[in-house]
Structure 1
Amino acid sequence: MGLFSRMETVLKSKMNKMLNKMEDPRETLDYSYEKQLELLQNVKRGVAEVTTSKKRLQLQRAKLVQSMDKLERQAKEAIAANREDLARLALERKAALTQQVDGIDSEIAELEKQEEKLIASEKRLSTKVEIFRTRKESIKAQYSAADAQVKINESVTGISEEMADVGLALERAENKTEEMKARADAIDELMETGTLEDLTGSRDEIDRELSKISTQTNVESDLTRLKAEAGKGQEKTGEEGKGAEERKEV
């Protein structure tokens, strides 16, 4: 029994949890409001039925009263015609109708009491239904707002997580780009120094060495030329000084 009791408790808790997820409070409130409206309509129908019954009895009573009045006139006419027997018969029928009218009056009074109770119940229930409707709409509005806020927060949370992933991806892309730029710069430097041969170019190692020799030869030629020009300048300066001294002696 202990095991089955535990299993029953677990199953009930699972079902309750599942129902909580499936249940929409707004639908529950609307359903409760509809049931209250049905109850209110039943009370109104009860009031209408009691009122109809009372009206029917009142019409029946009115007909009996008319018959009683007629019997009263007949009894008077019989007395006037010295027909006491007919007067007695009319009065007996009138007495029977009077008993019926008294019974109908009792039924009408009872129906009036029921009608008053039903009308009071209808008013109280109508007030409660209206209060419930107002509260229902307020709760539904609050629930809808809270539900929308939850969805917005969940969306923002999802966007934040996505943006975090995007940020990491951008950081990885930037790091990789910097790494590729560094590698490209290193390869350019190695190619410039000749350490790494540019297989895509048209110049081989011999061409590069010949280019270096040509460059050095051009440098030496320019250096010799500059020295020669500098020497000629000194010779011209010496000859001009000698001529000036000779002019002074003359």
Structure 2
Amino acid sequence: MGILSRTSYVIRSKINAILNRSEDPGETLDYSYEKMRDELQQVKQGIADLTTQKKRLEIQKRRLEENVERHNEQAREAVNQDRDDLARQALEKKQSKMNQIEDLETQIANLQETQDSLVDKKNQLQNRIEEFRTKKETMKARYDAAEASTRVSEAMSGVGDEMADVGRALERAEDRTDEMEARSAAMDELADTGAFDDALSDKDSIDRELESGRSSREVDTELETLKADMGKGSPPETESDDGETADVESSDVDVADEDVEAELEELRNEDDA
């Protein structure tokens, strides 16, 4: 087999495979049925045309027969008038018309025979079409049932093209959902650690440590000032006449320490709240 022959064979094979996959048996059967009906209609039209031609010949035959009868009367009348010459002419015309009638009868007989044959073939074709129609409807019903059963089986097993697409779509949705959930959890974790604040700030870690120390010292200073304003600060030192410092009585110092601790505990509780 040459290259061109092989190429042609492969192309025809692929085209045939494509047609087989795209062919709908129901549509094919319906199309075949319509083609057969068209053929039957053509046969009926042929029979009608043939019958028309036969009728025309029969009409022409009747007219010739009428002429034959008229020529007979002409010949009789000519004989009565002793006009043999006219009688002969009438009889000659009669003979000519009879010959034409004979030819017409032969043609009519042939047409009748052809018509009878076509009618028989038409009846046979019509019977075949009716049988084909019954088989067609039966085959279509079987095909539809088989197709429905196949679709149900594919849907239940999940091997059909549509179900496979649904399965892939579900897998993609699950993967996307997992990705979004993981991303959301990561964002929450970064927010809790302050990573977003750090990312939005121009300060580095040293600046933040120093600022935290300054804030702590400012709080301590403000706390001491508050204690001093409320008279709950450290025990004041007094100087004696000779310039030496004298301590406040120990009992007063103990009371002041207890009050400071209580106030400090209240402040801590307020800050925690």
Percent of pairs identical after alignment? Answer: 42
Map of 1:65 onto structure 2: 65
Cα-Cα RMSD: 2.2
Please show how residues 28-177 of structure 1 align to structure 2 within 5 Å.
28-158=28-158
Q: Deviations over 1:154-192 (max 9, x none)?
A: 222237996xx99xx9xxxxxxxxxxxxxxxxxxxxxxx
| TM-score, normalised with respect to structure 2 | 0.57
Could you say what secondary structure the match of 2:66 adopts? helix
| TM-score, normalised with respect to structure 1 | 0.62
Question: Comparing both chains, which one has the higher relative contact order based on Cα–Cα distances under 8 Å and sequence gaps of 6 or more?
Answer: 1
Map of 2:267 onto structure 1: none
Q: Deviations over 1:8-46 (max 9, x none)?
A: 333332222211111111111111111111111111111
After TM superposition, give the deviation of residue 3 of structure 1 in Å.
Answer: 4.1
After TM superposition, give the deviation of residue 5 of structure 1 in Å.
Answer: 3.9
Point out where structure 1 has 5 or more consecutive residues left out of the alignment: 170-250
Separation in 2, partners of 1:46, 1:75: 44
1:16 and 2:16 aligned:
yes
- The residue identity in structure 2 corresponding to 1:134 is T
Could you say what secondary structure the match of 1:86 adopts? helix
Pick closer, same or farther for the CA change 1:97–1:146 going to 2, 3 Å: same
Separation in 2, partners of 1:95, 1:26: 65
Separation in 2, partners of 1:99, 1:10: 67
Separation in 2, partners of 1:90, 1:16: 75
Pick closer, same or farther for the CA change 1:4–1:95 going to 2, 3 Å: closer
After TM superposition, give the deviation of residue 2 of structure 1 in Å.
Answer: 4.1
Separation in 2, partners of 1:87, 1:135: 71
Aligned length, in residue pairs:
165
Separation in 2, partners of 1:2, 1:75: 85
- The residue identity in structure 1 corresponding to 2:121 is S
Q: Which structure's residues are more often helix, by fraction?
A: 1
